Amino acid sequence: MDPNDIASELEQAARDEALSAARGRQRNLFRADCADCGDDLPPYRQVYGTCIDCQERREHMDKLRGKS
């Protein structure tokens, strides 16, 4: 394969990736605030949908109910 083709293919792949990342942000897959208390979530917590306090409270409640 022509090295120029490879380069442009890599460039295209990088562009596709950037595009789908941008679309993912627009779709807002993850909650931006806590499901329990409504606090703003830092990006690394958004995948969980709750803040650390509420997560711990939920786990505590689960333990109390004997679900753990």
- CA 46 – CA 44 distance, rounded (Å): 6
**Pick 24 or 42: Cβ nearer Zn ion:** 42
Beta strands in 1-68 (DSSP E): none
User: Taking the complex as a whole, how short is the minimal distance between the CB of residue 36 and Zn ion, in angstroms?
Assistant: 4
33 binds Zn ion (CB under 5 A): no
**Pick 39 or 48: Cβ nearer Zn ion:** 39
* Structure tokens, 14: 């990088």
**Pick 10 or 61: Cβ nearer Zn ion:** 61
- CA 29 – CA 52 distance, rounded (Å): 19
Site residues, Zn ion (CB under 5 A): 34, 36-37, 39, 51, 54
